[in-house]
Amino acid sequence: MNRDDLPLVAFTLLVQLALGAVALAAMAPLRVPGAAGLVITLLGVAAAALVVASACSLLHLGVKAGALRALRNLRTSWLSREVLFTGLFTALTLAAAAGALARLPVADFLWLVTLTGFAAVFTMSRLYQETIHPAWTTLYTPVSFFAAALTLGAALGAPLVQTSGALAPGAAALLLRDIVLTGAAGVTAGLAATAVYAGDLQEGHLPLAARLLLTLGGLGLLTAGWYGPLPWLTPAGSFLLAAGELFGRVRFFAQGAA
Amino acid sequence: MATQLGFHVDMRKCTGCRTCSIACKDKNDLAPGQLFRRVLEIEGGSYGETGAGAVVPHVFAYYISIACNHCDQPRCVANCPTGALAKSPADGVVSIDQAVCIGCRYCTWSCPYGAPQYNPAAGRTNKCDLCAGLRAAGEEPACVTACPMRAIDWGPVSELRDRHGGTMALAALPDPGLTQPNGSYTPHRDAGRRLRP
């Protein structure tokens, strides 16, 4: 992989993590009572991830001072649209985090933030689909990007729920089950797309096996953490899931190299 | 558009000497690794058995001198987020405004011919503008002047087609339907052959 693309690996993953976190923050209070603390933590992590993501996207530019000029061609450029929606998503997430911290009612507002995050990830995937790199122009790109949002959201949410003292044990177990199921949906969609994608590229079995090992291992540990009494299973599962997404994204950029 | 300008290359004459690349690099003062005009060496073919224990090669090689094709549907222009890339309504030449480019490199991901080239030192991308400065002074593009085989021609595309015919549908180049390029080639005799059997 071209070293210049490393900021984009971080940028894409962090925006997708933020979408997963914000969506979880929007849904958690509907499922269980007493989730206000969890919502603040999720929004705080999402806001921090988006601030770091914005810095990463700047690092990729040759002329950082001209970054705002990237908004000039909204009519035809998916990159301009991605900059617009990611900027909106970042601003709204920061506002939601500040509002939640101030104990303001942000529940309805979070759905607008989630929608903006969805638009940010959609425009991001269209951007890569509109290139001339065969590895990026297929449906794999949007499927894997949204699957990463689900997977990373679950990887973040599970240990936070497990360690949240404010949730009643029954509520925490219910929320953890929802998160594990969401993660399983993300993993299934992501791996299904990866298998098709890897088959099209006729690449070797080793990278696919490594991705499967990390992601399925992570999901297994996360599921075991939901059932089992060992507290380290959930964070270990989250770590493996995140490592699987990172591995997959590095391969994505390596295969798109000119 | 008044007149669409473009290049024509006679592949039958090209010897792959790369004088065109060097003349372009010199004229545009390009950084190491940057080439607005490149010469691709295309090799292909297979081996066959005679039936008497001998192996006979059926191989071929030829050169493609390629620069920006100033396409009718330039993806680089559509994808550029700043509007730095534009297609001139006067002569159809696609060029980059260096004062507006922010070096995002999206154009380098968008062009099927590899025309836009990123310069890490400048932090910007640049490309062939058909030697706008030389043309304004009444001269020919540097690659055209430098070619020792007179394989490269330039001018209004309609005139080039009348003069040379030519095609962009070569086995080693992308489908011209992608961007409707305005370059053309008089093909080498093997340019239609598949690179692998």
Residues of chain B with Cβ-Cβ distance to A73 below 8 Å are 80-83
Q: Which of B100, B104, B108 sits opposite A79 (nearest CB)?
A: B104
CB contact under 8 A, B104 and A69: no
CA–CA separation, B23 vs B6, rounded Å? 18
Burial environment of residue A30 by CB neighbours within 10 A (0 to 12, 13 to 18, 19 or more): exposed
Residues of chain B with Cβ-Cβ distance to A61 below 8 Å are 102-104, 123
CB contact under 8 A, A130 and B100: no
CB contact under 8 A, A73 and B114: no
Burial environment of residue A204 by CB neighbours within 10 A (0 to 12, 13 to 18, 19 or more): exposed
For residue B123, the distance in angstroms to the closest alpha carbon of chain A comes to 4
* DSSP state letters, A139-157: THHHHHHHHHHHHHHHHHH
Kindly list the averaged pLDDT for each block of 10 residues, start to end, along chain A of length 258: 87 98 92 85 97 95 95 96 98 96 92 98 96 89 95 94 80 88 91 75 74 91 84 92 94 78
CA angle, A36 as apex, A31 and A41 as ends, to 5°? Answer: 110
CB contact under 8 A, B81 and A131: no
Domain range for residue A246?
Answer: 3-256
Residues of chain B with Cβ-Cβ distance to A66 below 8 Å are 82, 100-102
pLDDT for position A2? 78
CB contact under 8 A, B104 and A62: yes
List, in sequence order, the alpha helices (H) in chain B.
19-28, 75-79, 106-110, 132-136, 142-146, 157-164
Q: Where are the domains of chain B?
A: 5-71+130-186
Q: Which of B75, B83, B103 sits opposite A62 (nearest CB)?
A: B103
* DSSP-derived 3-state class of residue A163: helix
Report whether B16 contacts B192 (CB < 8 A).
no
Burial environment of residue A177 by CB neighbours within 10 A (0 to 12, 13 to 18, 19 or more): middle
For an interface test with A, the pick among B105, B117, B125, B179 (most A C-beta atoms closer than 10 Å) comes out as B105
pLDDT for position A199? 65
For residue B173, the distance in angstroms to the closest alpha carbon of chain A comes to 13
Give the class (CATH, top level) of B5-71+130-186: alpha beta
Which two tokens mark B196?
């692998």
Structural domains counted in chain A: 1
Q: What is the ipTM of this complex?
A: 0.89
CB contact under 8 A, B174 and A60: no
- Measuring CA to CA, which residue among A145, A49, A56 is closest to residue A97? A49
For residue B135, the distance in angstroms to the closest alpha carbon of chain A comes to 29
What lies within 8 Å, CB to CB, of B84 at 6+ separation is: A69, B96, B97, B98, B100, B101, B102
Pairing of strands B5-10, B184-186: parallel
Q: How many residues does chain A have?
A: 258
Name B87's bridge partners: B94
CA–CA separation, B128 vs B148, rounded Å? 20
pLDDT for position A201? 63
pLDDT for position A77? 97
Report whether A41 contacts A180 (CB < 8 A).
no
For residue B156, the distance in angstroms to the closest alpha carbon of chain A comes to 28
CATH of the domain at A187: 1.20.1630.10
- Measuring CA to CA, which residue among A239, A247, A243, A101 is closest to residue A158? A239
CB contact under 8 A, B104 and A77: no
Residues with pLDDT less than 70, chain B: 1, 196-197
For residue B25, the distance in angstroms to the closest alpha carbon of chain A comes to 21
Cα–Cα distances (Å) from A178 to A220, B32, B109, B166, in that order, read 15, 54, 39, 63
CA–CA separation, B121 vs B127, rounded Å? 15
A 114-153 residues inside an 8 A Cβ radius of B = 127, 130-133
Q: Which of A4, A83, A133 sits opposite B81 (nearest CB)?
A: A83
- Measuring CA to CA, which residue among B104, B118, B107 is closest to residue B75? B107
CB contact under 8 A, B114 and A60: no
Nearest CA in chain A to B83: A73
CA angle, B87 as apex, B81 and B88 as ends, to 5°? Answer: 135
CB contact under 8 A, B102 and A61: yes
* DSSP state letters, A211-239: HHHHHHHHHHHHHHHHHSS-TTHHHHHHH
pLDDT for position A227? 81
Virtual torsion, Cα B73, B79, B85, B88, nearest 10 deg: 20
For residue A70, the distance in angstroms to the closest alpha carbon of chain B comes to 5
Cα–Cα distances (Å) from B128 to A119, B30, B120, in that order, read 35, 11, 17
Looking up tokens 């085989």 gives B149
